Amino acid sequence: MIILAIETSCDDTSVAVVQDGSLVLSSIVSSQMEHSQFGGVVPEVAARAHVANMIPVLDEALRTAGITMDQIDSVAVTKGPGLIGSLIVGVNTARTLAKQLDKPLIAIHHTEGHIYANWLHKANSEAPQFPLVCLTVSGGHTNLIFMKDHLDYQIIGETQDDAAGEAFDKVAKLLGLGYPGGPLISNQAEKGHAEAFTFPRVDLTAKPARDEIGFLVDPEQSLDFSYSGLKTAVLRTVKEETGNGERKLTQSQINDISASFEAAATDMLTRNLERAIVKYKPRSVLLSGGVAANRTLRNKIATMLGESYPKLKYFYPEINCCTDNAAMIAAAAHFHAMADNYTDPITLVPDPNLKLT
């Protein structure tokens, strides 16, 4: 089964052609550079750029895959969540293609796309096994998701404020590194010392309470995340190190703050993932989303699993499949097609606040 997928939820215009949910025939991503001067995505600019990029990216995806429109079995698209102006461009392109070509249409939640990036490039035998726990960390989401089977999602942990990727982006801006911040922080961190500054590993586990007889009751360890305290701690450190903006940070200070921040951010993710493993006893552990490209995080989780849970299978997407791309949307769409979950092109509308159900 050949699926053509479209992803335009944020600032990447992407079209991919994927066979049987794993073989990538083409995956074209046009990343909008227009936003770097603003230090973040400007929704109106993103929507306009998607309009300009969509047809050239679609053409290139078909040309690279070496197929024509009529060889496609289904069209898939990200329905949400995301920026409404961006989503409209992808959804309307997909609706038009499906209607004109008389092909079935499949609507995908952006986060399930990230999860299913772990099925790309994998034959059935080496694909993730259920039940599984997936840590999805991107610019918009920080979720721990438990799956008993395909398309069955239970959110068991989530951020109470910023997403992990958003924290990387904001700290990068604070350090004057640019946007998107994740890879930039990561590059500086490689040259810095992770112990140079002590940043908090925020834990939302409640304080121990007393039962009716007065014994201390151990609270259940929280699987939720919070990045605002860490962000504030970095801000405070930058103020201290620069004498409230009197001096500029030196390159080695930037490297050390980056390394210490990255260490704290990835420790929190790894700690809660381990708690989820203990509680849900999965057969596979998955990492996904833009922050999954972070090598420190990938390695930290590998070390935790290797030392304490060596039988667990660990999956993470190839680096270029971690950040937004349409191939992951096609992978998720493959499993929806197997379950006959199609959508009517006449009535499909984007949903910027779509929930994962």
- Residue that is written with structure tokens 């959804």 in the block: 91
Stretch that binds ligand KG4, among 52-60, 147-155, 163-171, 197-205 (CB under 6 A): 163-171
| 13 contributes a contact to Zn ion by CB under 5 A | no
- Find the binding residues for Zn ion in span 129-168 (CB under 5 A): 138
Which of 85, 157, 289, 350 is close enough to bind ligand KG4 by CB under 6 A?
Answer: 289
Residue type, 340: D
Give the CA dihedral 39, 42, 45, 46, nearest 10 degrees: 100
93 binds ligand KG4 (CB under 6 A): no
Query: Measuring CA to CA, which residue among 162, 138, 137, 154 is closest to residue 279?
Result: 154
The H-assigned helical ranges of the chain are 43-65, 84-101, 110-116, 164-174, 181-189, 228-241, 251-280, 295-308, 319-322, 326-338
List the one residue out of 57, 112, 87, 106 whose CA is nearest residue 336.
106
Identify which range of 69-77, 136-144, 224-232, 244-252 contacts ligand KG4 by CB under 6 A.
136-144
Query: Cα-atom radius of gyration of the chain, to the nearest Å?
Result: 21
Q: Indicate which single residue of 80, 181, 282, 350 sits in contact with ligand KG4 (rule: CB under 6 A).
A: 181
Q: Is 7 near Zn ion (CB under 5 A)?
A: no
Q: Cα-flanking dihedrals φ and ψ of residue 317, to 5°?
A: -70, 160
Tokens matching residue 43: 């929704």
Task: Single out the residue of 80, 104, 290, 350 in contact with ligand KG4 (rule: CB under 6 A).
Answer: 290
Segment contacting ligand KG4 by CB under 6 A, of 72-80, 133-141, 145-153, 270-278:
133-141
Smallest gap from residue 289 Cβ to Zn ion (A): 6
Closest approach, Cβ 165 to ligand KG4, in A, equals 3
57, 324, 333, 354: residue in contact with Zn ion (rule CB under 5 A) = 324
Instruction: For residue 14, state whether it binds ligand KG4 (rule: CB under 6 A).
Output: no
Note whether 293 binds ligand KG4 by CB under 6 A: yes
Smaller CB separation from ligand KG4, 178 or 229 = 178
Cis preceding-peptide flag for 208 (omega within 30 of 0): no
Question: Any residues with CB less than 8 A from the CB of 225 and at least 6 apart, and which?
Answer: 142, 157, 158, 159, 160, 164, 202, 204, 268, 269, 272
Q: Please give the structure tokens belonging to residue 143.
A: 């979720």
* Positions in the binding site for ligand KG4 (CB under 6 A): 10, 138-140, 165-166, 168-169, 180-183, 186, 289-291, 293-294, 323-324
* Positions in the binding site for Zn ion (CB under 5 A): 138, 324
